[in-house]
């Protein structure tokens, strides 16, 4: 991903690597253009009927777009505009408007996109000065049409990188982009708060798909490129299916070129900003942790039907410390399953390095390089338990329960990457903590319950170097997740040393080693073993697919134990 550092108030060209389109898209588009040439010489009435049938046939093909490539990448260029008051450090979130151009602006020169439509409007400093939307204007490659699957991935990346209000995401497009707008709404109706298709339509046979989406369509009555009936028939079909938040503006004296009138209308933007999805309440609050003396930002997503009985899920971020980004990725899944999401931010300043975060500050830092492989760890004395980072989670949970008057007695804990290291060690060192279930995903290394291996890869000479502690650990509700494609031995931030590599040379192998080592020890001791392991097909190291699986596991636990959840 290649995001630059755009200046608020200015439109800046950006690029990003996304999965490549299936070649069939180019084939479909070429077939469509060839057929249009064939019918161009027909009498007007016959030509209109033939084009109607051609478009319907074409729409069906495009609606059933084949999946994006799993191996090849494609560079996508786009213009990014951030409002003049945009501030990444603020708690404010901004509405996002995706703008799709017409066929004449396709190609590989991103500056062409400024020729008309919203990107042209934003070249005017007076217009840009008060523009309230984060605006993304990608360029479609020559000979193709807009891919909803690829555009959806682009929006994912924009949401992760910038402060976006997920309940106010809009899409608009002109001509080819108007069709792209309809198609994107068709594929992802739950993502958008509203859509504005300009001078293009869609297949009335699927009108029911749009009944709950606010739509304002525009068309010129004298349009000979795309007949006005393409918009009017679609709008009528949606209304017939029960859609009551859709309207169509027809310019009686205009043809296909209507973007200046449409995007020059201030009422359009006032209307857009009143459209908001009934989604979760998101934000940030500050938690004062007395024992550590630290102030911790907690990024949250409160489901729209939140109440005192709503289960609570705490998510531990990776080594990049991007708590807000994790919240943004996870919130759609927690909203779906009606979970309260809390993502505490353990900054590197307050919780430096592996020692204070991944390893829970159990032992003090002993050298400037913070080398977890140092043999000095054998002679270290542990920090006082009240200084362990693991204790923060219960205190944060208690604080939230008190401030929200929640009736929950326990929480679910999920950790990814470095957060998974933290998560899997918490029930080992703090077995009395209030967790219902702990789900570590894609940890880079593990503390194996092995009394012959040194910290942090084993428990020798640690506060839990005794059989009773390990037996209790084996009985804890630990559900280990590992991506089946997380197998790169040279992956960034993956510890590689003789001691680390005893667990395997990649994250998948290390997860299996951790689980099997514990299982065999419990079997030898003839003691209960409650852990579970699941590998996730086609999942690499990224969090999204891992969390999607984790939240399903947690939701199933909630369903089976609605009153108390898993007990320890």
Residue 104 is given by DSSP the state G
Task: Find tokens 């009551």 and name the residue.
Answer: 244
pLDDT above 70 coverage of the chain, percent: 94
Residues 429-484 have pLDDT tens digits of 999 999 999 999 999 999 999 999 999 999 999 999 999 999 999 999 999 999 99
Q: What pTM did the predictor assign?
A: 0.61
More confident residue, 283 or 106: 106
The whole-number pLDDT of residue 53 equals 77
Tell me what the mean pLDDT of segment 279-289 comes to: 85
Residues 212 and 191: their CA atoms lie apart, in Å, by 12
Q: Average pLDDT in the 377-386 region?
A: 74
Instruction: Work out the average pLDDT over 344-360.
Output: 95
Statement: residue 560 has pLDDT above 90: no
| pLDDT reported for residue 379 | 45
Please report the pLDDT score of residue 5 as a whole number: 66
**Res. 260 pLDDT band, cuts 50 70 90:** very high
Q: Which residue has the tokens 């920090």?
A: 383
Q: Give CA–CA dist 175/311, Å, rounded.
A: 46
In the chain, what are the domain boundaries?
11-274, 298-560
- Contacts by residues 504-507 (CB-CB < 8 Å, ≥ 24 positions apart): 507/442, 507/443, 507/444, 507/482, 507/483, 507/541
CATH T-level topology, domain 11-274: Rossmann fold (3.40.50)
Q: Is the pLDDT of residue 568 over 70?
A: no
Read off the pLDDT band of 360 (50, 70, 90): very high
- Per-residue pLDDT for 376 more than 50? no
* Mean pLDDT value across residues 333-347: 96
Phi (first) and psi of residue 218, to 5 degrees = -135, 145
Find the range with the poorest average confidence among 46-50, 121-125, 394-398, 406-410. Answer: 46-50
Residue identified by tokens 């249009």 is 36
Average pLDDT over residues 264-278: 92
Rounded to 10 degrees, the C-alpha dihedral 469/470/475/480 comes to 130
Say if 11-274 and 298-560 have the same CATH topology. yes
Q: What is the mean pLDDT of the chain?
A: 91
Task: Compute the distance between CA of residue 405 and CA of residue 418 in angstroms, rounded to an integer.
Answer: 31
Condensed to tens digits (0 to 9), the pLDDT of residues 214-236 reads 999 999 999 998 999 999 999 99
Q: Which one has a higher pLDDT value, 506 or 378?
A: 506
pLDDT at 334: 96
CB 135 within 8 A of CB 173: no
- CA distances (Å), 360 to each of 124, 389, 433, 478, in order? 52, 5, 14, 18
Query: What gap in Å lies between CA 129 and CA 267, rounded to an integer?
Result: 18
Predicted pLDDT of residue 66:
76
Fold of the CATH domain 298-560: Rossmann fold (3.40.50)
Mean pLDDT is highest, among 86-100, 290-304, 519-533, for 519-533
pLDDT in tens, 31-77: 777 887 888 788 877 777 777 677 777 767 776 777 888 889 999 99
Tell me the CA end-to-end span of the chain in Å, nearest whole number: 43
Residue 3 pLDDT level (bands cut at 50, 70, 90): very low
């Amino acid at each position: 991903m290649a995001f630059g550092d755009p200046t608020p108030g200015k439109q800046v060209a950006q690029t990003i690597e996304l999965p490549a389109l299936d070649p069939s898209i180019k084939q479909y588009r070429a077939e469509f253009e060839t057929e249009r040439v064939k019918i161009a010489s027909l009498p007007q009435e016959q030509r209109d009927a033939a084009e109607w049938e051609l478009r319907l046939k074409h729409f069906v093909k495009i609606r059933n777009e084949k999946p994006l490539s799993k191996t090849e990448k494609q560079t996508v260029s786009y213009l990014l505009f951030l409002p003049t008051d945009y501030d990444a450090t603020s708690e404010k979130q901004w509405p996002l408007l995706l703008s799709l151009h017409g066929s004449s602006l396709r190609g590989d020169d991103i500056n062409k996109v400024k020729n008309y439509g919203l990107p042209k409007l934003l070249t005017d400093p007076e217009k840009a000065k008060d523009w309230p939307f984060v605006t993304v204007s990608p360029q479609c490659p020559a000979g193709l049409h807009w891919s909803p699957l690829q555009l959806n991935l682009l929006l994912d990346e924009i949401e992760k990188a910038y402060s976006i209000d997920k309940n106010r995401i809009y899409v608009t497009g002109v001509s080819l982009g108007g069709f792209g707008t309809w198609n994107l709404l068709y594929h992802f109706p739950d993502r958008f708060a509203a859509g504005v298709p300009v001078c293009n339509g869609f297949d009335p046979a699927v009108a029911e798909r749009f009944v709950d989406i606010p739509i304002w369509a525009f068309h010129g009555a004298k349009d000979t490129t795309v007949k006005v009936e393409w918009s009017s028939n679609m709008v009528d079909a949606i209304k017939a299916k029960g859609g009551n938040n859709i309207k169509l503006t027809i310019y009686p004296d205009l043809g296909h070129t209507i973007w200046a009138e449409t995007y020059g209308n201030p009422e359009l933007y006032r209307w857009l900003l009143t459209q908001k999805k009934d989604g979760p309440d998101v934000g940030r609050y500050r938690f004062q942790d007395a024992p550590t003396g630290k102030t911790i930002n907690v990024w949250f997503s409160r489901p729209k039907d939140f109440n005192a009985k709503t289960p609570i899920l705490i998510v531990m971020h990776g080594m990049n410390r991007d708590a807000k980004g994790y919240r943004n990725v996870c919130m759609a899944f927690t909203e779906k399953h009606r979970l309260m999401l809390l993502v505490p931010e353990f900054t590197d300043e307050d919780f430096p390095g592996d020692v204070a975060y991944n390893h829970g500050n159990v032992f003090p830092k002993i050298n400037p390089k913070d080398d977890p492989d140092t043999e000095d760890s054998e002679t270290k004395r542990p920090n006082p338990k009240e200084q362990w980072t693991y204790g923060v989670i219960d205190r944060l949970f208690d604080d939230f329960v008190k401030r929200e008057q929640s009736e929950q007695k326990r929480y679910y804990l999920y950790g990814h990457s470095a957060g998974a290291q933290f998560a899997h060690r918490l029930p080992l060192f703090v077995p009395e903590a209030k967790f219902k279930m702990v789900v570590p995903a894609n940890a880079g290394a593990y503390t194996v319950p092995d009394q012959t291996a040194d910290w942090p890869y084993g428990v020798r000479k640690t506060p839990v170097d005794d059989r009773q502690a390990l037996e209790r650990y084996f009985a804890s509700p630990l559900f280990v997740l590992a991506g089946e494609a997380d197998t790169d031995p040279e992956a960034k931030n993956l510890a590689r040393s003789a001691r680390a590599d005893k667990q395997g040379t990649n994250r998948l192998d290390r997860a299996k080693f951790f689980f099997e080592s514990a299982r065999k020890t419990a079997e030898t001791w003839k003691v209960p073993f409650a852990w579970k392991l699941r590998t996730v097909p086609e999942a690499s190291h990224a969090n999204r697919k891992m969390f999607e699986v984790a939240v399903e596991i947690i939701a199933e636990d909630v369903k089976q134990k609605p009153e108390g959840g898993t007990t320890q």
